[in-house]
C-alpha cells in the first residue's frame, strides 16, 4: 500500500474517532441546550475553529485548488444537507439512547454506498451488498422500541433521517474533495451553523447559557471540524464509499463511550444488533481493502520451433473502474 493511501486510511480512522465523542457528549449537553440550537453551535464551532487554524497554516495549502462557480451546486447542496442532518440527529438523541444512536449512524454507510451506486455510478461488489444488508437489518432491530408489538422508536427514525442526509452529503462533498480542504470545512461549518441558528430562532428556542454555548462549540470543533477536515482529506484518495467504510468504527467507539459516560443499559436486542452490525462493518472494511478490476481482452502466444507455446508479457492500457473510484486508465503488464 502506498504512503498516500495509508495516510488517507489513517485520516479516515482519526475522523471516526473524533466524531465518536459527539453522541454521548451531545446527549449530556442536550439537557441544557435545545436541539436546533445545539446543531447550530456544533457546526459554528467547527467552522470558526477550522478558520482560526487556517489563519496560521494558510501557506501550507496555497497549492490546493480553490472552489469555483462550477462547484456551487455541490456546495449549496452540501450546506443544506448539513443544516438538516445535525438537527435530525439532535432531535433523535432527545429520545433515543446514545448507544443506539451511535450504531444507527452506521446506516450512513448504506446511504452513502447506494447513493454512490444509483446516482454517481460508483460500483458495489457482492461483498459490499451483503454488508449493506447486514447493517440495514441491524439498524431495523435498533429502531424498534418493542419488538413484540413492532413499535418504532421515533428517536431512531430521526437518527436514520440524519444518516440519510449525510449519505447524500458525503457524495456531494466527494465531488469537491479535490479542492481546498480548509475552504470546504469553513463553508460547511459557518453556513450550516448559521442556517441552523436561523431555524432555532424561528422556532423560538431559548438561547443557552454562555458556558454551555462554549462547551458545545468546543465539541463541534473536535467532533465536527477536525473530523470533517480529516474525512475530506481521506476522500481525496479513497472516494466517498471507501472513506465512509473506514468511518464505520465511529459508531462502535461512540457506543462504548455511551456505556462508560452515560451508564446506559445494554438490552438483548442491542447485543444482537451490535454483533450483526460488527459483521457488516468488517465486511465493508475488507471489501474496501481489495482493489480489483476486470475487462475483456485477448493475449497472444508465441510458438517456438519445437511446438511448445510460451506466454509473453503484453503491456497495454485500458479504461476501467475500481470498486468505488472514478473511471481511469493506466499501463500494466499481464502474464
Using a CB cutoff of 8 Å and minimum separation of 24, what contacts does 57-66 make? 57/182, 58/182, 61/180, 61/181, 61/182, 64/179, 64/180, 64/181, 65/178, 65/179, 65/180, 66/179, 66/180, 66/183
Whether residue 320 sits in one domain with residue 215: no
Predicted pLDDT at 50: 94
Q: What is the DSSP letter of 71?
A: G
225 occurs within a structural domain: yes
User: What integer pLDDT is reported at residue 315 of this predicted model?
Assistant: 47
| Residue 48 covered by a domain | yes
Q: What is the pLDDT of residue 224?
A: 93
Element containing residue 78 per DSSP (H, E) = helix 72-93
Per-residue model confidence (pLDDT) at position 306:
59
Mean pLDDT of 124-152: 75
* Per-residue model confidence (pLDDT) at position 64: 72
User: Can you say how many angstroms the Cα of residue 20 is from the centroid of all Cα atoms in its chain?
Assistant: 12
Is residue 296 a part of any domain in this protein?
no
Contact call for residues 239 and 60 (beta carbons, < 8 A): no
Q: What is the pLDDT of residues 188-246, one digit of tens each?
A: 999 999 999 999 999 999 999 999 999 999 999 999 999 989 988 888 887 766 776 67
Domain span including residue 327: 301-334
> Same domain, yes or no, for 306 and 285?
no
Of 42-51, 115-124, 177-186, 310-319, which range is least confident?
310-319
Shared domain for 72 and 106, answered yes or no, is yes
329 and 250: one domain? no
CA distance 124 to 3: 25
pLDDT of residue 160: 92
Percent of the chain with pLDDT over 90: 36
pTM to 2 decimal places: 0.75
Do 309 and 201 share a structural domain? no
Residues 195 and 321 in one domain: no
Look at 99-103, 197-201, 221-225, 307-311 and tell me which has the smallest mean pLDDT: 307-311
Residue 257 within any structural domain of the chain: yes
Question: How many domains are there within the chain?
Answer: 2
Same domain, 65 and 137: yes
Confidence at residue 9, expressed as pLDDT on a 0 to 100 scale:
84
Domain check: are 326 and 281 in the same one?
Answer: no
Of 57-66, 117-126, 172-181, 193-202, the range with the highest mean pLDDT is: 193-202
More confident residue, 207 or 268: 207
Please indicate, yes or no, whether residues 214 and 320 belong to a single structural domain of this protein: no
pLDDT at 292: 45
Percent of the chain topping pLDDT 70: 80
Spatial CB neighbours of 189, under 8 Å, sequence gap ≥ 6: 43, 44, 45, 46, 47, 48, 49, 50, 51, 220, 224, 225, 228
pLDDT tens digit sequence for 16-43 = 889 889 999 999 999 999 999 999 999 9
Amino acid at each position: 500500500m502506498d504512503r498516500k493511501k495509508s495516510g488517507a486510511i489513517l485520516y479516515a480512522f482519526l475522523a471516526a474517532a473524533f466524531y465518536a465523542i459527539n453522541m454521548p457528549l451531545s446527549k449530556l449537553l442536550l439537557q441544557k441546550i435545545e436541539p436546533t440550537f445545539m446543531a447550530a453551535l456544533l457546526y459554528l464551532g467547527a467552522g470558526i475553529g477550522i478558520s482560526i487554524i487556517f489563519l496560521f497554516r494558510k501557506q501550507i495549502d496555497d497549492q490546493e485548488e480553490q472552489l469555483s462557480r462550477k462547484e456551487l451546486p455541490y456546495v449549496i447542496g452540501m450546506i443544506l444537507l448539513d443544516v438538516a442532518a445535525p438537527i435530525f440527529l439532535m432531535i433523535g438523541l432527545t429520545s433515543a439512547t446514545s448507544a443506539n444512536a451511535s450504531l444507527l449512524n452506521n446506516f450512513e454507510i448504506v446511504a452513502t454506498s447506494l447513493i454512490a451506486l444509483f446516482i454517481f455510478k460508483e460500483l458495489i461488489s457482492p461483498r459490499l451488498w451483503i454488508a449493506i444488508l447486514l447493517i440495514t437489518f441491524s439498524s431495523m432491530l435498533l429502531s424498534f422500541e418493542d419488538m413484540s408489538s413492532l413499535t418504532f422508536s421515533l428517536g431512531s427514525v430521526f437518527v436514520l433521517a440524519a444518516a440519510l442526509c449525510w449519505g447524500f452529503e458525503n457524495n456531494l462533498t466527494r465531488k469537491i474533495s479535490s479542492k481546498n480542504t480548509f475552504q470546504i470545512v469553513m463553508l460547511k461549518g459557518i453556513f450550516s451553523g448559521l442556517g441552523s441558528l436561523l431555524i432555532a430562532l424561528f422556532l423560538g428556542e431559548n438561547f443557552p447559557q454562555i458556558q454551555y454555548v462554549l462547551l458545545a462549540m468546543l465539541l463541534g470543533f473536535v467532533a465536527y471540524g477536525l473530523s470533517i477536515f480529516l474525512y475530506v482529506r481521506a476522500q481525496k484518495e479513497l472516494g466517498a464509499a471507501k472513506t465512509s467504510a473506514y468511518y464505520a468504527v465511529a459508531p462502535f467507539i461512540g457506543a462504548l463511550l455511551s456505556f462508560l459516560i452515560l451508564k446506559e443499559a445494554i438490552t438483548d436486542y442491542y447485543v444482537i444488533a451490535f454483533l450483526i452490525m460488527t459483521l457488516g462493518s468488517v465486511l465493508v472494511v475488507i471489501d474496501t481493502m481489495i482493489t480489483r478490476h476486470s475487462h475483456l481482452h485477448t493475449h497472444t502466444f508465441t510458438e517456438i520451433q519445437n511446438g511448445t507455446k510460451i506466454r509473453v508479457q503484453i503491456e497495454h492500457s485500458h479504461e476501467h473502474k475500481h470498486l468505488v473510484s472514478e473511471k481511469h486508465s493506466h499501463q500494466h503488464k499481464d502474464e
